[in-house]
Chains A and B, each alone.
Chain A
Amino acid sequence: AQSVTQLGSHVSVSEGALVLLRCNYSSSVPPYLFWYVQYPNQGLQLLLKYTSAATLVKGINGFEAEFKKSETSFHLTKPSAHMRDAAEYFCAVSGSYNTDKLIFGTGTRLQVFP
């Protein structure tokens, strides 16, 4: 069985500051990990995904995440926050690549202050 835990339901940063959103996973098989973003009143958009190729994954909009097996983590980072990054972010895990159900975390709402 797979699960993810997102630490911090709300994160606030100033514009230009580092963004760090935390995700820890639990999986009985090698996991496939995803980060999705949901802007206000919109659907889900894929930011990036880990598919066991490279541990450092680069996504859209300047985001990246690093898979750390020893820490069972897949934290999302961005060096410099923009106002447009304000959204809700979801970490998700699957037991197989794109062909199994996605299990989502509870989400982290990112606020960016000027």
Chain B
Amino acid sequence: DADVTQTPRNRITKTGKRIMLECSQTKGHDRMYWYRQDPGLGLRLIYYSFDVKDINKGEISDGYSVSRQAQAKFSLSLESAIPNQTALYFCATSDLYGYTFGSGTRLTVV
């Protein structure tokens, strides 16, 4: 099993729908991150969490919310999806030894 698992891998949803992207990890790391990747823009930080009780906005948090249900789980929600949220989303974790990325969720909003 992968150390950082993202579900679903691919998702097509309609404008206005609520959608949740899930991330779970077996690394035992306290720190977790959500990024989105867009062509030509690289990866941009949406939210990050340094422990279960700590949630921080990244540079592009508008339109997104997160939930840190446990040390191992960090979910990203789009309350009302819009087409410009179509992107590749990555979850990551870190500790003193390094960062670990999930395989990504490709989200298309139509």
Residues in A lying within 8 Å of B, measured CB to CB = 6, 9, 34, 42-44, 46, 90, 92, 97-99, 101-107
Q: A43-B103, A44-B90, A99-B31 are in contact. Are A104 and B95 (CB under 8 A)?
A: no
Instruction: A39 to B99: give the CA distance in the assembly, Å.
Output: 18
Q: Pick the contact of A98 from B35, B45, B99 — CB < 8 Å?
A: B99
Residue interface bits B77-110, CB-to-A below 8 A is 1, else 0: 0000000000000101011111101111000000
Instruction: A42 to B88: give the CA distance in the assembly, Å.
Output: 11
- B33 close to chain A: CB less than 8 A: yes
Residue interface bits B20-45, CB-to-A below 8 A is 1, else 0: 00000000000101010000111111
Q: Are A46 and B99 in contact, with the CB atoms below 8 A?
A: yes
CB distance from A41 to the nearest CB of B (A): 9
